[in-house]
Chain A
Amino acid sequence: MDEPQNPATALPVEMPIPGADEIVLNMGPQHPSTHGVLRVKLKLDGERIEASECIIGYLHRGVEKIAEHRSYQQFAPYVDRMDYVAAVSNGLGYCEAVEKLLGAEAPPRAKVVRTILTELQRIASHLLWLGTHALDIGALTPVFYCLREREEVLKIFEKYCGARLTTHAFRIGGLQYETYDGFEHDVKRFCDDFEKKVEEYEQLLTGNRIWVGRTKGIGILTGEQAIALGVTGPPLRASGVKWDIRKAMPYAAYDQYQFDIPSGQNGDTYDRYLVRMEEMRQSRRICLQAIENIPTGPIMAKVGKVLKPPPGEVYHAIEAPKGEIGYYVVSDGTVQPYRVRVRPPSFINLQAFDTMARGHLVADVVAIIGTLDIVLGEVDR
């Protein structure tokens, strides 16, 4: 498998002739481990996958169409509903894209607070991934530990902006809310505890023979394949491409902090697991650095109540927990965006599923879906 499976020319999965050795198995849209309403059609020879086809769209809500009928500010909460386990990151991408369109820039204090919240969100998103991924592979316990820690992050969000899941934490131009009293303390306490907790997860899984057996060599994606298929985020890094938008094209306040980009070599499920675990540690590191020194000053740039960006277009991408989330916003000079295009990382990463799943067993399908870390709200928008 040198060349990546061309997703468009991949064999269509059709019902075989009765009596043939192959069966077609429909996984989803209601299945315990397709993480929502993904439907995968598998052509099986025994338990081995010969071809696969993802059928998506069960959660399509027409977010991009809605954007054209809302003002710039009104659309901001909608982006939270795409990747609903990493709403803060989505919001950051959108706000920064519109700011870029306006030529405005958020004040330094807002940037740092944004960085902290986004990194906390990354930890929360990865924790949910870890829990469900482990659950898919049959480890029942880590999910509860992960949710316990995620709860702490959500509590911080709740205290900050009143919402836990679809936060709408940022505004175009900065922040609406000043941090609450004790924000630094809460984040610091979480970060201090979190170090030990990651150790705990690693003890449960990293060296576990069954875990290693289930993840090593599964769903291999080489660096070239990953790039050709547009895969971004942890799956790309696990394939050995050390690329992270936070370093390559820094946004918010990432240029001020020290952190490493973890990467893998084999591009298999185990490497993706290790990369995400390390990313959580690095996020914690960023949070700790940022919390030390939050600049004082205003939290909102002067952007005015009615946003009328000059005509033009902008593409702005940030490193969301799932990969590169990009917003391509076209303005025609009115209060409503002419077009908002979201580049959804889950959607494009899911495209690699067929390449990764061929030749593996049914049990590996759930491991591969889990390791891609998709959120169907974002795939279908």
Chain B
Amino acid sequence: MLQEAYFILSNYIWQIVDGLVIVAIFPLLAGYVVLLERKVMADMQARLGPMRVGPHGLLQPLADAVKLMIKEDIIPESADRAIFWLAPVLSVFAGMLSFAAIPVGPGFLIADMNIGLLFIFAVSSMGIFGIVLGGWASNSHYSLMGALRSSAQLVSYEVAVGMAMVSGLLLAGTLSMKDIVGYQAHSGFWLVFVAPVGFVIYLVGSVAETNRAPFDLPEAESELVAGYMTEYSGFRWALYFLAEYSNMVVVGSVATTLFLGGWLRPFAGTPAFHFLDYAPPLVMLGVTGYCVYRIPKQTGWDQKFIMAIFTGICFVITVPLAAALPHPVAGWQAGVHGAFWFIAKVMAYVYVFLWARFTFPRYRFDQLMQLGWHYLIPLSIVNVMGVATAIVLHREAGWNPVVSIGVTLVVTVLAALWLVRAGERREQATLKSAA
């Protein structure tokens, strides 16, 4: 009996270790994503951002984490205690579970499911339960309104996002995350070039799904104080925060896998571009060099020491990347290089989120709904039909793939323009009737 259990367990030992690593490391990474966000924000707003805790605020995430953990944990008297307790956990659970199916690099994958994409889609939608329950359990008007907005928003945008995914799936012909990347490696182009409209819809929809600005209505701080998080404090609040950032990374990972070629290097199939394999170690070496350059500029030995530690971390990452040269094709060499490109793409995607957040004002709720139902959903349907037509034209009628894609793309873009025009007319009409 025991041996049997051991036997079963030993089969999954790597999955368990991977899972533990993700649960252990991700909160820290999320903290650094927050730091990154604050630094990007500061840069856009002509400020410096966190500079006090550690050199350039590098220890800020740790300080924040400690602060949040030792903060008083307040549960409102009229709250439903059990659900109040459960809700943030549920959110984080859903966010973390999605990581199981995300292929970071060739071989760096916890669970290679044949329904990987569907799994992520389903699990990440579960996170909304945490928000709705938390908002309801708080027993506050602001929280309730935040929760209601959040659920309405998710329902509306899930359709468009799902349709956008379908347009990619039609081309790849599989739901397995690994095989989707495999298809892109095999065909030689990323799906974003085949279904650009689908990618744009996914981008907009994923911002809305993760409740990020300009669609951050569930937590709109100027209207609903903090929306569903109003009554939360301390560690529970931190859990919601963690869930939000893990969701951001999850949608970034899905977009990367589905549209941006996953772990593939740009021009992966072209031998002439093999020199790009030197980029990852060189980039990391550059970062290391910059850190070394900054060490003497820090004031105080403690700051210098911390800077040195970060230099060391950068260097440790450089070593396997460099060791995998000259041309990583298989095994762990391909794995680390794949992971580098994957993370770089996810970060670029997340950067777009941040960029949008600091540039745009917030939508109003009815405008958000309008954008979802009047523009994105019709457009996503047209897009799916367009992609399907292109595939049929190519496979059944034998058209040149470029021509068939081009024709359907033009039709889709025309449909988008028509939608925008119709929307503008509608707006004019409502403005007139209001005046």
Contact = CB atoms under 8 A, between A and B. Distances in A.
A148 B41 CA distance: 16
Interface in B111-154: 141-142, 145
B159 to A, nearest CB: 22
A249 interface: no
B429 to A, nearest CB: 12
Given A216-B431, A220-B435, A363-B365, A140 B222 contact: no
Contacts of B302: none
Nearest to B141: A25
Contacts of A177: none
5 contacts: A205-B361, A213-B367, A214-B367, A217-B434, A266-B435
A183 to B, nearest CB: 26
B39 interface: no
Given A362-B145, A365-B223, A140 B358 contact: yes
B365 A47 contact: yes
A344 B44 CA distance: 37
A205 B359 CA distance: 9
Nearest to B226: A32
Q: Which of B145, B224, B358, B362 has the most CB of A within 10 A?
A: B362
Interface of A: 23, 25-26, 31-33, 47, 134-141, 144-145, 148, 204-205, 208, 210-211, 213-214, 216-217, 220, 266, 361-366
Instruction: Report the 5 A-B pairs with minimum CB-CB distance, sorted nearest first.
Output: A138-B362, A144-B45, A33-B222, A139-B361, A138-B361
B45 A138 contact: no
A214 to B, nearest CB: 6
Interface of B: 41, 44-47, 141-142, 145, 213-214, 216-217, 220-225, 357-367, 427, 430-431, 434-435
B141 A211 contact: no
B45 A141 contact: yes
A213 B431 contact: no
Nearest to A26: B141
A340 to B, nearest CB: 36
Contacts of A364: 364
Nearest to B431: A217
A141 B358 contact: yes
Contacts of B430: 217
A140 B357 contact: yes
Given A141-B359, A204-B359, 9 more contacts: A47-B365, A135-B222, A210-B362, A213-B367, A214-B362, A214-B363, A217-B430, A217-B431, A363-B362
A363 B225 CA distance: 11
A364 B44 CA distance: 27
A266 B427 CA distance: 16
A262 B46 CA distance: 31
B41 to A, nearest CB: 7
A26 B221 CA distance: 15
Nearest to B216: A138
Contact of B364 (A135, A141, A145, A361): A361
B360 A139 contact: yes
Nearest to A145: B46
Given A32-B225, A217-B434, A363-B223, A137 B361 contact: yes
Q: Which of B364, B366, B434 has the most CB of A within 10 A?
A: B364
B349 to A, nearest CB: 20
A144 B222 contact: no
Contact of A138 (B145, B222, B431, B434): B222
Contact of A208 (B224, B358, B360): B360
Q: Which of B41, B363, B427 has the most CB of A within 10 A?
A: B363
Q: Which of A135, A138, A205 has the most CB of B within 10 A?
A: A138
A137 B367 CA distance: 13
Contacts of B45: 140-141, 144-145
A109 to B, nearest CB: 37
A40 to B, nearest CB: 12
Contact of B214 (A33, A138, A144): A138
Given A210-B214, A220-B434, A365-B223, A140 B41 contact: yes
B222 A137 contact: yes
Contacts of B358: 140-141
Nearest to A132: B222
Contacts of A217: 430-431, 434-435
B431 A363 contact: no
Contacts of B361: 134, 137-139, 205, 208, 210-211, 214
A8 to B, nearest CB: 26
A211 B361 CA distance: 6
Q: Which of B141, B217, B358 has the most CB of A within 10 A?
A: B141
Given A208-B361, A210-B362, A138 B220 contact: yes
B22 to A, nearest CB: 31
Contact of B46 (A139, A148, A210, A363): A148
Contacts of A214: 361-364, 367
Nearest to A25: B141
A141 B41 CA distance: 8
A366 B361 CA distance: 13
Nearest to B41: A140
Contacts of B44: 141
Contacts of A211: 361
A18 to B, nearest CB: 14
Contacts of B141: 23, 25-26
Contacts of B46: 144-145, 148
Nearest to B42: A144
Contacts of B216: 138
Nearest to A215: B361
Nearest to B430: A217
B222 A32 contact: yes
A33 B223 contact: yes
A269 to B, nearest CB: 12
A74 B359 CA distance: 47
B279 to A, nearest CB: 32
A217 B222 CA distance: 20
A26 B41 CA distance: 32
B135 to A, nearest CB: 14
A366 B365 CA distance: 13
A138 B365 CA distance: 13
A136 B223 CA distance: 8
B364 to A, nearest CB: 5
Given A47-B145, A145-B46, A217-B435, A363 B360 contact: no
Contacts of B142: 25
A14 to B, nearest CB: 16
A148 B214 CA distance: 24
Nearest to A211: B361
Contacts of A205: 361
A178 B44 CA distance: 40
A150 B381 CA distance: 49
Q: Which of A23, A31, A140 has the most CB of B within 10 A?
A: A140
A306 B367 CA distance: 62
A31 B142 CA distance: 11
